[in-house]
Amino acid sequence: MTNGVPRRLAQAVVVLWAAFTLSFVILYLLPGDAVLAKLGGGEGGSTVTAADVARERAALGLDDPVVVQYGKRLVAAAQGDFGRSIATGEDATTLVLNALPSTLSITGLGLLFAVVFGGAIAILGTYTRSRLLSQFLASLPPLGNSLPPFWVGLMLIQVFSFDLGLVPALGSDGFSSLVLPAVTLALPTGAIIGQVLAKSLRTQLDEPYVEVVLAKGAGRARVHFGHVLRNAALPALTLVGVLAGNLLAGSVITESVFSRDGIGRVTASAVSAQDIPVVQAVIVLAALFFVVLNLVVDLLYPVLDPRLAGRVTAKAVSGV
Amino acid sequence: MSSLAPPNAVRQELGFYLRRPGLVLSGAVIVFVLLCAVAPELFTSQDPIAGVPAERLQGPSAAHLFGTDETGRDVFARVVHGAALSLRATVLSVLVSLIAGAALGLLAGSRGGWVDSLVMRVVDVLQSVPSILLSLALVTALGFGTTNVAIAVGVANLATFARLMRAEVLRVRTGVFVEAARAAGVRWTGVLARHILPNSLGPVLVLATLSFGTAVLEVSALSFLGYGATPPTPEWGSLVAGGRGFLATAWWMTTFPGLTVAAVVLATNRISRALDGERRLG
Amino acid sequence: MSALLEIRDLVVSYHTRSGVVPAVRGADLAVAPGEIVAVVGESGSGKSTTAHAAIGLLPRGGRVESGSITFAGRDLTGLSDKQWQQVRGSDIALVPQDPTVSLDPVRRVGEQVAEVLLVHRLVPRRAAAAEAVRLLRTAGITEPERRARQYPHELSGGLRQRVLIAIALAGRPRLIIADEPTSALDVTVQREILDHLEGLAAESGTAVLLITHDLGIAADRAARVVVMSQGEVVETGSTREILTAPAHAYTRELLAAAPSLSREPLRARLDAGPDVLLAVNGVSKSFDGRTRVVDDVSFTLTRGRTLALVGESGSGKTTTARMVVGLETPTDGTVTFDGNDITTLGREELRLLRRRFQLVYQNPYASLNPRFTIEEVITEPLRAFGVGSPAERRTRAAELLDQVALPSSMLARKPAELSGGQRQRAAIARALALHPDLLVCDEPVSALDVSVQAQILRLLVRLQEELGLTYLFITHDLAVVREIADHIAVMRDGSVVEHGPADTVLTTPNAQYTKDLLAAIPGAVAPDPIR
């Protein structure tokens, strides 16, 4: 395991590099012109001369050959520099990092809700002896996965802010303004947790070792919480990286619905303005999230699963 | 089972559906929205674009099932007419991920070696960025519009298809019956075409039906954010967005288009679940 | 009535989505204190369901419809969950079928043994660990202190079964239900485990209800035998009665089929003939460049004869077979088939030679493409070599089905619609399609029920005589070998430890390992049955 850590770190760096390259290919090589979008995007439809465009392109370094552009940007990105926002002229990295805390607070709370409710639904649904309750709980995650999150957010505002007046509809201040966005974010994520964990629990309950535990005279609670839950939680753990990414991506919609400041808002307006440096900074940040969380899970896994202890684990970084 | 007499088989088939009212309802929902996409005038005679200002912001009634919006347009008519654009984008995006993903997966799984490694590393990277962000990046580069949104969503989701197709090819490839065919003297191309492909495609097609629901959600999310069709043209996601300003006064403007999306997603998910195994388990 | 366990008129069925499937239809059996009773039957006989009903652990959907299960005078059928929990582990214990999947993979072995003690509050929490170690030692595990701290995956299958025996003994039960306790283990390990279980049961006066498909094991271990078929008990009696004077036709059939109880080959054994068809010369195989899975193996096979390659799991016998048919390339050595060294052939040359040697796999459920019809399965080799028109291939397929004694109506069926034995016949028909000289059979009967096993073996022998086939027969089962082989090569850890004419190897073995294998065949202590 000790010699696995450097290798795992190297893999993580490779994934980050690849994510940067992918975003470069998409954003800088595909057709579409950010400069025109910026110059022409202003109010009044001011006339844009060829000279304006050329000056702007040169200033942004878009005139260099592709390989040179790629090299320059890669070196800069490695130092955390993704260039200046085309729309506002601010440093893209600073823009994104400044927006991070606000987003982290709703994603953090959202993850908590998702784990608690998704986990509870899965555990209760497989533990209860009432078929009706079990079927009802099993039907919740597919339902949660099917509702458009932007619409759910609006419905929550409608009911809890306008009809009941319980929480503020919009804005970024105070804990109470966190609740509805966090619930909106938690819905699809909690649905995935509930679904995966319940499936995993059901598979484990059919394993022959469960029969042996029952044959010892153990009760259902001991079977469920003493044996099955731990075995079932292990595969669910590999989802963490994906889920965190989903939460971050979900913030684009949630923050737009609730008019909150954060990464999502920054992303949405950057996409609208075809503000390439900012979009690229967000993508690489998301990949960084994914890579770091998977690294943690990967290093934690052998500690939790004795079968993998002392062995180089299967390549959990590379995905689910 | 197949040797049973036809009347019996029909009755069995009927019984299968009677025991699953949810599945039948889901089928009806899908048939309905497909008809809306092909022939919207079957369901509404009202104009989705031009409104009647005198009838603005009316609640649901017999004349306006889903109420009217701020310029007096019938929301139901807009939902029905929006089906064509929304569904076309969804189908396009699923086709992009299915065809490109399955081809990549087949290539990786059947060739192996460095081809496999290369394809799978690309897939790894595609999966390390959340699909919404990836499609946003593609939209940034390609520009706005429903077709671009559809392509962006399709590309962002193709990694799952590639991964599943490769896993299936590898699973089937190591199957004993595949080796038995080779040991019997069948050529590799024959083994690939007659044994591996038919046996590995099934789960991938099921995934396609399942990802139809995801694609509806993602396409409508991007259209909600305003990257889809330009304003007067109705599209499900942008209809929900259009009602945002009237949440307090005209709840029907967001509620009904959103419910439509949810109903379509639920219905496709139910059907794909049925395809995934209930038929076989009976 | 002094019975410890008495089952009367037991009816059990499984409630599934597609309807109610009866599993046991009126079973009666009794176990006296300290007695070993074997329940023998093939898959689907209801033997396992009966046993699980007795410990209240029917699989999902299983329900006791009527009848009684009385344990020490108390009817168990109406017990509540709480009451069952008190019975399980302390009155009745279970030794399950497959030790490799029957322990919780993420809990230490010692904890899992101690769990019984804690559940029933037999010892204080602090003393449980030490008691678990003692139990592991009793179950025949060396270094129990170290083993107790290990996880299941660090133990071999045999050791894990000993852990499960320790778990079963922990609550000092009066009855142990052992459900095919050794069928997942190698024969030599099988015998040790059964010896130990038998000894411990005798020592502590524990009764054992032994569920097995192998009449040989029942004959060796049980005082009384209960024969089940299709959910019913067809015959009950002392082991001696059952073996020497079976009353029921099914019991006689089972006795005739049990390879472990037969003493005679299915046809007269042949000497090595003059015409060498296959020569394997100094063949070795290493997958990782270091350990040799097969190490310097040589043998020859002459036309029309059967050579059995015998060994336990990990002996290298299957890898050897795969090298013979060119599915693996040897690291060293040559494989010469009728004068051609197949290890040096090009891809297409090898493919063309394949029509002369074909392979029959162990698992008939996996070796047929589930989407093909039986006709497509059988005609595939013909199509691959461009033999005949479609109509001619169809005729040939019907002819082949006839040879393997399947009706031609099977041609249109899918593999899933056939039983295991029928599928294996179809697989044999496919192998015969191109008139091969050599059939390599890799454990062709070990996935099948004993009566079906006997039919397939007889079929193979008949085909050999009719078509002049040569067989390389891979198996772990010396009892099967005794019925069909002309020559035997015994493999262990990648090497051939003994090689010679079948009668010599079976009656006067040289290698100690061969002796062990022979001694491990169940049924050895049974009285000679009348056949």
C167 neighbors A216 (Cβ within 8 angstroms): yes
Report ipTM (2 d.p.).
0.82
Paired with B68 in beta bridges are B74
Q: Would you tell me which residues 88-107 of chain B have a C-beta closer than 8 angstroms to some C-beta of chain A?
A: none
pLDDT confidence bin for A167, thresholds 50/70/90: confident
C211/C186 same-domain check = yes
Report the first-to-last Cα separation within chain A, whole angstroms.
21
Residue B100 has pLDDT above 90, yes or no: yes
Residues ≥6 apart with Cβ < 8 Å to C456:
C421, C424, C425, C428, C444, C445, C448
What's the distance, CA A45 to chain centroid?
37
Task: Report the CATH number at residue B118.
Answer: 1.10.3720.10
For residue A285, the chain B residue with the least C-alpha distance is: B129
| C252 and C287 together in one domain | no
CATH for C430: 3.40.50.300
Q: Are C119 and C89 in contact (CB under 8 A)?
A: yes
- Counted domains in chain C: 3
User: CA separation (Å) from A315 to A297, A319, C4?
Assistant: 11, 8, 54
Query: Residues C155, C164: contact at Cβ < 8 Å?
Result: no
- The span from the CA of A231 to the CA of C101, in Å, is 13
Three-class secondary structure of residue C179 per DSSP: strand
Residue A80 lies in a domain: no
CB C24, CB C11: distance < 8 Å: yes
Tell me whether residue B52 is in a domain. no
In a domain, C267, yes or no: no
Q: Which of A307, A139, A160 is nearest to A235 (CA)?
A: A307
Structure tokens at A278: 């900012």
Closest residue to C96, CB basis, from A211, A217, A305: A211
Structural domain contains residue A118:
yes
* Alpha-carbon distance values, C130 to A77, B160, C123 (Å): 59, 51, 10
pLDDT tops 50 at residue A316: no
Whether residues C84 and C148 fall in one domain: no
Please tell me which of the candidates B121, B221, B262 has its beta carbon nearest to residue A146: B262
Q: Find, among C40, C312, C336, C101, the residue nearest to C186 by Cα.
A: C312
Burial profile A149-164: b = 16 or more Cβ within 10 angstroms, e = fewer: bbbbbbbbbbebbeee
Residue A283 has pLDDT above 80, yes or no: yes
Can you state the angle between helices A208-215 and C157-170, rounded to 10 degrees?
30
Q: Which other chains touch chain B, taking contact as 3+ CB pairs less than 8 Å apart?
A: A, C
Inspect the interface and report whether the beta carbons of C81 and A230 lie closer than 8 Å.
Answer: no
In a domain, residue C266? The reply is: no
Q: Are residues C307 and C408 in the same domain?
A: yes
Residue A9 lies in a domain: no
Q: Dihedral through CA B117, CA B123, CA B128, CA B129, nearest 10?
A: 150
As a whole number of angstroms, the distance between CA C385 and CA C380 comes to 9
B275 belongs to a structural domain: yes
8 A C-beta contact, residue B253 and residue B228: no
Whether residue C530 lies inside any domain: the answer is: no
Same domain for C164 and C62: no
Structurally, chain B folds into a number of domains equal to 1
Per-residue pLDDT tens, chain C, 531 aa: give them: 478 999 999 999 988 877 888 899 989 999 999 899 999 988 888 899 999 999 999 988 889 999 999 999 899 988 998 999 999 999 999 999 888 889 999 899 999 999 999 999 999 989 999 999 999 998 888 899 999 999 998 888 888 999 999 999 999 999 999 998 887 778 778 888 888 888 888 888 899 999 998 888 888 889 999 999 988 999 999 998 888 888 898 888 888 777 666 667 788 888 877 888 999 999 999 887 778 889 999 999 999 999 999 988 888 898 999 999 988 889 989 999 988 898 888 888 888 899 899 999 888 888 899 889 999 999 999 999 888 899 999 999 999 999 888 888 888 888 888 888 889 999 999 999 999 999 999 988 887 888 888 888 989 999 999 999 999 999 988 888 888 899 999 999 889 999 999 888 988 889 999 988 888 877 765 544 443
Co-location of C283 and C389 in the same domain? yes
Domain coverage including residue C408: 276-519
Structural domain of residue B259, as residue ranges? 2-42+67-281
Tokens representing A271? 């996409």
Phi-psi region of B172 (alpha: psi -120 to 50; beta: other; left: phi over 0): alpha
In a domain, C467, yes or no: yes
User: Which pTM does this prediction carry?
Assistant: 0.81
> B113, exposed or middle or buried, with CB in 10 Å at 0-12, 13-18, 19+?
exposed
The answer to whether the Cβ–Cβ distance between C417 and B180 falls below 8 Å is no
Assess if residue B162 is contained within a domain: yes
Whether C180 maps to a domain, the answer reads yes
- Burial of C289 per CB tally in 10 Å (0-12, 13-18, 19+): exposed
Radius of gyration of chain A, Cα coordinates, nearest whole angstrom: 24
CB contact, 8 Å: C102 with chain A? yes
* Structural domain contains residue C526: no
Same domain assignment for residues C431 and C286 = yes
The domain tally of chain A equals 1
Of A19, A271, A282, the CB nearest to B125: A19
**A42 — pLDDT class (breaks 50, 70, 90):** very low
A178, two tokens: 């966190």
Query: What is the rounded CA–CA span in Å between residue C385 and residue C368?
Result: 19
From first CA to last CA, the distance across chain C in angstroms is 36
User: How far apart are the C-alpha atoms of C518 and C477, rounded to whole Å?
Assistant: 10
CA angle A27–A30–A33, rounded 5-degree value: 75
Whether residue C390 is found in the same domain as residue C487: yes
Q: Judge if C482 and C387 occupy the same domain.
A: yes
Answer yes or no: do C411 and C503 share one domain: yes
- Both tokens assigned to C91: 């009155």
Determine, yes or no, domain membership for A213: yes
User: Helix axis angle, A149-156 relative to B252-273, nearest 10°?
Assistant: 140
CA of A212: which chain C residue's CA is closest?
A: C102
The pLDDT tens digits of the residues spanning B26-76 come to: 888 888 888 887 877 777 777 777 777 777 777 777 777 777 777 778 878
The answer to whether B74 and B132 are in contact (CB under 8 A) is no
